[in-house]
Structure 1
Amino acid sequence: MRINLILLSIFSFTVISCGNYYSMDDFKSVEKIDAHFHIYTSESTAVEQAKKDKFKLLSINTHSGACERVIESHQWLRKLNKEYPAEMEYSGTFCMDGWDEPGWNENTINWLDQCIADGANSVKVWKNIGMEFRDKNANLVMIDDPQFDTVFAYLSEKKIPLVGHLGEPKNCWLPLSEMTTKNDSGYFSRNPQYHMYKHPEFPSYEDQMAARDHMLDKNPDLIFIGCHLASLEWSVDVLAEWLDKYPNAAVDMAARMGQLFYQTCEDRDKVRAFFIKYQNRILYGTDIIDRGGNTEDFHNKIHETWLRDWEYLATRNKMTSSLIDGEFRGLQLPKEVIDKIYSSNTKRWYKSF
């Protein structure tokens, strides 16, 4: 009788344990949001692929070109949001044009008012602040510049999230041969203008992070979503300390899976424990860019990226990746953690969907 009870207990534990995790078969049935997508076209078929894979999209508008592009992209996103109100939402952003002229703050706030009225749920700032844009005296403008204070105070008062891609991965300040992930070495070899190892005259990695944190210190009520694991992707320990310091901040995972894979190779248990402890502060995203003219290959790329990341987060399969060298095992996060990372966290932090 005692043996039967023990066997029954073991069997029950196994059933409960298996029931607490998703499998690859669950991928298309679980509600998911890609919280860092880019749509730069008026006719996006990526939304249709998202519907097939049970995804919704948050398209992030970015000042990565001329101001005319910001305005045009906003109009495209507004149009798509009206066509697919249940499937996609979008952020606004602002330009740096007129920075040295009177009225920049007022004009920027008026523009952001219009973006929010049109349906944007947040405001994006990009790495051109701190790494590219210069004032009339040829000084790089950092994100903690006092001229931004009224804009960020406006966002704080209105409870509008600020979405920040500030700085770059720490690999950016290393020679290509010392970078920990192949996606970084590939990107910076193609974009040497952003490879800070080659530009010691620019602010250091530590300077970029300090400016970001100083801005947050000045705006303690600001809701902040740090893109790309807040550029602290190289260490879940350091990222944990940062999240502890800034309770109004969350992070998305976009384009930083390679760094997570790399750390998982070294210490899977530590990475898994990080995800479980900060399960309310992490948002899934990819940084995929849709510029229109989509092909079947592009749709397959989206699907395969989403499927790979699901395997890593939801299962304990042995995996390899073109992003890094070495083999690692998926994190197999509990269902409630997966549901937060893939959906409810984005809904809560952006107050959308």
Structure 2
Amino acid sequence: MPKKLMEFKAFIPKITVSKRNQRKIPVLFALWLILLPIMAQQGYQAKLPDIEKKTYYTMEDFGRVDKFDIHIHINTAQPYFIHQAIKDRFFFLDIVDDRPFGLPMDKQQEVAIQLLEKYPEQMSFATTFKVSNWNQDDWVAQTISHLEKSFAQGAMAVKIWKNIGMDLRDEHNDFVMVDHPRIDSVLTFLTKASVPLLGHNGEPRDCWLPLEDMTFSQGYYGNHPEYHMYLHPEYPSYEDQINARDNMLKKHPNLNFMGAHLGSLEWSLEELAKRLDAYPLMRVDLTRLPNLKLHTFNDWEKTRKFFIDYQDRLIYGTDTAINPTDRPEDLKQRIHQKWLDEWKFYVTDSPIELEGYGELRGLKLPGKIIDKIYFENASKLLGFNTKG
């Protein structure tokens, strides 16, 4: 049998083979039918690739490659975003947050479950837990009960947000950090349940710097001084946030963990590499792309080497918020263009403009690395299987 006909990916639950591939690859399709009952017992089905693995991808390959965005926030039951994801061959993780603004946590989860029922082949979701009841004696029991219910409703991961470390205080008015003993009980539960934790711990380092020393955050923190930690030295420092996260990982070495936003170490590839070396089960998503572009602008070879060295630990994500809209075509075009522009940065060495700095060239990563950061690494973290 030709090599092409022997290659296949085991994909997200309920993904099925397209009619076009059934016609093109009849031998493999017959094999798929034989294997389907076995794979269904394992909780996944097979997905056949449209193209062979390439040494390098091109812009033209964007619509022919399965991709996964691990950092999406959906705040509406409108399906427009998912329609575009299907068109662009994107699968995604919808993340629920315990944030004090926008759609409340419970409503976010209702939306996620509602969409999951309609589009189980396209998405997964990550749940979270509230801390408004932190000072109750049974907080741990309540939290674990909520998580167990969420897993039964389809959640594949858990998000811990920056309110722990930057907002939550205990009965003594002291800040609660992510390495707190009560949180240990929840993380031990997640470890035993083999459920990954997604951590947004702290903020970008810019948050603790004077405006003139920031890279990309001057506008936001200039307009929101209440969130500019440089002006609030009584709050935990940037180093406090990172140290607490690192201590959490030391205490839970078997916890599958993904640091959101480059693990809040977006400013230094060296510091990020130290953590990836120290914590073998730590991964990071590739949000805060402007920082990655700045690293590339400053040293293309060093940045590309970082991707090569840590190709198994990096996961594509955009941190895109999907809100209600009465202009669905504009939303779909915006999402499509963002995905396309970022594909250009990773797969080509074409010139790219970084506002405020100048022109850089894309990283042009090998196809096998693109496959990992755009799909395979997410599959390993979330627990659906791949072959190929």
* SS of alignment partner, residue 144 of structure 1: coil
* SS of alignment partner, residue 121 of structure 1: strand
* SS of alignment partner, residue 258 of structure 2: strand
8 Å contact from structure 1 (residues 67, 97) kept in 2: no
Counterpart mapping for 1:33-52 below 5 A: 33-52=68-87
Q: In the TM superposition, what is the alpha-carbon distance from 1:66 to its structure 2 partner? A: 7.5
Q: Number of paired residues?
A: 332
In structure 2, how many angstroms separate the alpha carbons of the residues matched to 1:50 and 1:189? 34
Residue 8 of structure 2 aligns with which residue?
none
In structure 2, how many angstroms separate the alpha carbons of the residues matched to 1:193 and 1:186? 13
Residue 112 of structure 1 aligns with which residue?
147
Residue 27 of structure 2 aligns with which residue?
none
Measured against aligned partners, the alpha-carbon deviations of 1:40-95 in whole angstroms (never above 9, x if no partner) come to 12223111111111111211111012799212211110110110011111000000
Q: In the TM superposition, what is the alpha-carbon distance from 1:163 to its structure 2 partner? A: 0.3
**What amino acid does structure 1 have at the position aligned with 2:139?**
W
**What amino acid does structure 2 have at the position aligned with 1:243?**
L
Residue 346 of structure 1 aligns with which residue?
378
Query: Within the alignment, does 1:202 sit opposite 2:235 as a pair?
Result: yes
Q: 2:244 aligns with which of 206, 211, 216?
A: 211
**What amino acid does structure 1 have at the position aligned with 2:113?**
R
Question: Cα gap change, 1:221/1:67 in structure 2, threshold over 3 Å: closer, same or farther?
Answer: farther
Residue 64 of structure 2 aligns with which residue?
29
Q: 1:332 aligns with which of 351, 364, 369?
A: 364
More moved, 203-212 vs 127-136: 127-136
Q: 1:72 aligns with which of 102, 107, 121?
A: 107
Q: In the TM superposition, what is the alpha-carbon distance from 1:167 to its structure 2 partner? A: 0.7
Counterpart mapping for 1:145-160 below 5 A: 145-160=180-195
Residue 255 of structure 2 aligns with which residue?
222
8 Å contact from structure 1 (residues 92, 122) kept in 2: yes
Residue 10 of structure 1 aligns with which residue?
none
8 Å contact from structure 1 (residues 144, 215) kept in 2: yes
Measured against aligned partners, the alpha-carbon deviations of 1:155-176 in whole angstroms (never above 9, x if no partner) come to 0111110100001111111122
Q: In the TM superposition, what is the alpha-carbon distance from 1:185 to its structure 2 partner? A: 2.2
More moved, 36-45 vs 125-134: 36-45
Question: Cα gap change, 1:68/1:170 in structure 2, threshold over 3 Å: closer, same or farther?
Answer: closer
Residue 91 of structure 1 aligns with which residue?
126
Q: In the TM superposition, what is the alpha-carbon distance from 1:189 to its structure 2 partner? A: 2.7
8 Å contact from structure 2 (residues 96, 127) kept in 1: yes
Q: In the TM superposition, what is the alpha-carbon distance from 1:294 to its structure 2 partner? A: 5.3
Residue 102 of structure 1 aligns with which residue?
137
Residue 200 of structure 2 aligns with which residue?
165
Q: 1:273 aligns with which of 302, 305, 309?
A: 305
Measured against aligned partners, the alpha-carbon deviations of 1:218-249 in whole angstroms (never above 9, x if no partner) come to 11111110000000111111111110000011
Question: Please, what is the CA RMSD of the aligned residues?
Answer: 1.7
Residue 36 of structure 2 aligns with which residue?
none
Question: Cα gap change, 1:287/1:142 in structure 2, threshold over 3 Å: closer, same or farther?
Answer: same
Q: Which has the higher helix share?
A: 1
Residue 176 of structure 2 aligns with which residue?
141
8 Å contact from structure 1 (residues 81, 89) kept in 2: yes
8 Å contact from structure 2 (residues 325, 331) kept in 1: no
In structure 1, how many angstroms separate the alpha carbons of the residues matched to 2:210 and 2:326? 35
8 Å contact from structure 2 (residues 75, 103) kept in 1: no
Q: In the TM superposition, what is the alpha-carbon distance from 1:139 to its structure 2 partner? A: 1.5
**TM-score computed with the length of structure 2 as normaliser:** 0.83
Q: In the TM superposition, what is the alpha-carbon distance from 1:193 to its structure 2 partner? A: 2.6
* SS of alignment partner, residue 91 of structure 1: strand
Question: Cα gap change, 1:67/1:115 in structure 2, threshold over 3 Å: closer, same or farther?
Answer: farther
In structure 2, how many angstroms separate the alpha carbons of the residues matched to 1:36 and 1:273? 24
Query: Within the alignment, does 1:259 sit opposite 2:291 as a pair?
Result: yes
Residue 98 of structure 2 aligns with which residue?
63
In structure 2, how many angstroms separate the alpha carbons of the residues matched to 1:162 and 1:189? 32
* SS of alignment partner, residue 101 of structure 1: coil
Q: In the TM superposition, what is the alpha-carbon distance from 1:204 to its structure 2 partner? A: 0.9
In structure 2, how many angstroms separate the alpha carbons of the residues matched to 1:99 and 1:64? 15
In structure 1, how many angstroms separate the alpha carbons of the residues matched to 2:221 and 2:181? 31
In structure 2, how many angstroms separate the alpha carbons of the residues matched to 1:68 and 1:297? 22
**What amino acid does structure 1 have at the position aligned with 2:324?**
G
8 Å contact from structure 1 (residues 280, 345) kept in 2: yes
Runs of 4+ off more than 4 Å: none
In structure 2, how many angstroms separate the alpha carbons of the residues matched to 1:261 and 1:146? 38
8 Å contact from structure 2 (residues 347, 365) kept in 1: yes
Question: Cα gap change, 1:67/1:26 in structure 2, threshold over 3 Å: closer, same or farther?
Answer: closer
**What amino acid does structure 1 have at the position aligned with 2:168?**
F
Q: In the TM superposition, what is the alpha-carbon distance from 1:192 to its structure 2 partner? A: 2.7
More moved, 163-172 vs 38-47: 38-47
8 Å contact from structure 1 (residues 44, 290) kept in 2: no
Q: 1:300 aligns with which of 333, 341, 365?
A: 333
8 Å contact from structure 1 (residues 105, 150) kept in 2: yes
8 Å contact from structure 1 (residues 36, 287) kept in 2: yes
8 Å contact from structure 2 (residues 294, 354) kept in 1: no
* SS of alignment partner, residue 273 of structure 2: helix
Residue 162 of structure 2 aligns with which residue?
127
**TM-score computed with the length of structure 1 as normaliser:** 0.91
* SS of alignment partner, residue 37 of structure 1: strand
